């Protein structure tokens, strides 16, 4: 029977180091594979890149392009593909690459006044009243609720509170045909005005709104298209929270006259006034990302000309915000982009920012109402706009 020879301390250390090395290598492989899986999910199937060939991606990912001869044309854009590779040489995925021209715009940060009339009338409340010795509400009995949009009454398109009141009064209590919209679908119901015991006039028991006005911030002007965009979020009814459907509207030059600072439980707000006779644009749309409009002939847009960043170029880190808290001249303030929400399902909410500028924090407490639309600048490019506090 053989005798076991004891291992020297040096041999044991070598074997221990080898085992440790295998463990570390296995852990490194798992980390790389986890990173590859993570970026497979995070990165889109198609990325837009400027024609100078520069691509900025998070996570130190590099891209290996195909030769230009393999490109295909799709409209005015050029389409190819690229293999995305992690620093250790592990392939993440192959994505479509769309080569596009870099856009530039005039970045603003100036305040503007909003005058907006709705397409139809928004129901903001229902109120019972006394008629024939009992409490009644014809609108509620017809099935109306807060947030409905009243389209027409007896075939006449509704355009203002006063017009609807006159139509109800002239009915003298006969049944009317009311058309309203709810959740994008139109409905038709009969409704009969009742004479109020308190004032002797006919009513439906419904409160409606036909317009809105407020202060926002211009994000940018597009001189070529003669348009502007601002606000960063849709104009919603203050009572119902529903997006107001735009019929007509104006963008008016404005000045900031003061502000109330934001604090816990109160967002604060900019206070301003419209400059009479200085309408600069006709509003065209009120959507998830704000309002936009066509500039009036002769209006001269002013701002800083900057390139527009592609979505994959926006990264967490330092940035600047242009906004106005006094008069009409915007100033630059320090912010940090803390998160970039790629593939976010909610339109208009793609990043989280934090105000770091001590001057702005000491004056307003940070972002307050009226700053919506303030442009965000990173690496010399327009990367977004302020939306919600």
pLDDT given at position 68 = 46
Cα 236 to chain centroid, rounded:
13
CA-CA distance, 62 to 338, in Å (whole number)? 23
pLDDT given at position 31 = 53
Strand-strand pairing, 246-260 and 202-203: unpaired
Give the chain as a 3 state SS string.
CCCCCCCCHHHHHHHHHHHHHHHHHHHHHHHHHHHHHHHHHHCCCEEEEECCCCCCCCCCCEEEECCHHHCEEECCEEEEEEEEECCCCCEEEEEEEEEECCCEEEECCCEEEEEEEEEEEEEEEECCEEECCEEECHHHHCCCCCCCEEEEECCEECCCHHHHHHHHHHCCCCCEEEEEEECCEEEEEEECCEECCCCCCEECCEEEEEEEEEEEEEEEEECCCCEEEEECCCCECCCCCCECCEEEEEEEEEEEEEEECCECCECCEEEEEEEEEEEEEEEEEEECCEEEEEECCCCCCCCEEEEECCHHHCCCEEEEEEECCCECCCEEEEEEEEEECCCCCCCCCCEEEEECCHHHHHHHCCCCECCCCCEEEECCEEEEECCCC
CA-CA distance, 24 to 104, in Å (whole number)? 49
pTM of the model: 0.73
Is the Cα torsion angle 123, 158, 211, 349 positive or negative in sign?
positive
pLDDT given at position 246 = 85
pLDDT given at position 69 = 41
Instruction: Print pLDDT tens along the chain (389 aa).
Output: 455 545 555 545 555 555 555 555 555 555 555 555 555 555 666 666 666 555 555 555 555 544 444 444 444 555 666 666 555 555 666 666 667 778 899 999 999 999 998 889 999 999 999 998 899 999 999 999 998 999 999 999 999 889 999 999 999 999 999 999 998 899 999 999 999 999 999 999 999 988 888 999 999 999 999 999 998 888 887 777 778 888 889 999 999 999 999 888 788 999 999 998 899 999 999 988 899 999 999 999 999 999 999 887 888 999 999 999 999 999 999 999 999 887 655 666 789 999 999 999 999 999 999 999 999 999 999 999 998 76
Do the beta carbons of residue 50 and residue 310 sit within 8 Å? yes
pLDDT given at position 72 = 46
pLDDT given at position 41 = 54
């Amino acid at each position: 029977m053989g005798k076991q020879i004891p291992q020297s301390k040096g041999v044991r250390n070598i074997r221990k180091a080898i085992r440790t090395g295998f463990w570390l290598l296995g852990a490194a492989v798992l980390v790389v594979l986890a990173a590859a899986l993570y970026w497979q999910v995070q990165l889109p199937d198609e990325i837009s890149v400027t024609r100078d060939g520069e691509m900025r991606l998070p996570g130190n990912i590099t891209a290996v392009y195909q030769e230009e001869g393999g490109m295909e044309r799709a409209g005015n854009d050029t389409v190819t593909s690229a293999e995305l590779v992690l620093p250790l040489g592990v392939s993440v995925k192959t994505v479509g690459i769309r080569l596009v021209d870099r856009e530039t715009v005039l970045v603003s940060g100036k305040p503007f006044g909003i005058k907006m009339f709705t397409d139809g009338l928004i129901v903001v409340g229902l109120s019972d009243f006394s008629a024939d010795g009992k409490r009644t509400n014809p609108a509620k009995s017809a099935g109306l609720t807060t947030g409905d949009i009243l389209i027409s009454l007896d075939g006449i398109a509704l355009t203002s509170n006063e017009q609807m009141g006159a139509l109800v009064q002239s009915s003298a209590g006969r049944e009317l045909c009311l058309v309203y919209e709810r959740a994008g679908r139109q409905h038709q119901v009969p409704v009969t005005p009742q004479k109020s015991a308190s004032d002797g006039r006919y009513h439906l028991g419904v409160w409606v709104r036909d317009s809105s006005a407020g202060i926002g911030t211009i994000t940018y002007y597009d001189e070529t298209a003669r348009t502007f965009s601002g606000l960063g979020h849709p104009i919603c009814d203050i009572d119902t929270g529903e997006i107001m459907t735009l019929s007509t509207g104006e963008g008016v030059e404005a000045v900031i006259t003061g502000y109330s600072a934001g604090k816990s439980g109160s967002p604060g707000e900019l206070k301003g006034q419209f400059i009479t006779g200085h309408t600069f644009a006709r509003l065209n749309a009120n959507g998830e990302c704000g309002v936009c409009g066509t500039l009036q002939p002769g209006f001269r847009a002013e701002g800083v000309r900057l390139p527009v960043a592609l979505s994959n170029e926006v990264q967490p880190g330092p940035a600047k915000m242009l906004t106005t808290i006094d008069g009409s001249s915007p100033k630059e303030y320090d912010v940090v982009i803390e998160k970039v929400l790629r593939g976010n399902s909610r339109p208009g909410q793609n990043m989280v920012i934090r105000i770091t500028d001590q001057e702005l924090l000491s004056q307003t407490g940070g972002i307050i109402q009226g700053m919506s639309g303030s442009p965000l600048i990173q690496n010399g490019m327009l990367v977004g706009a302020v939306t919600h506090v």
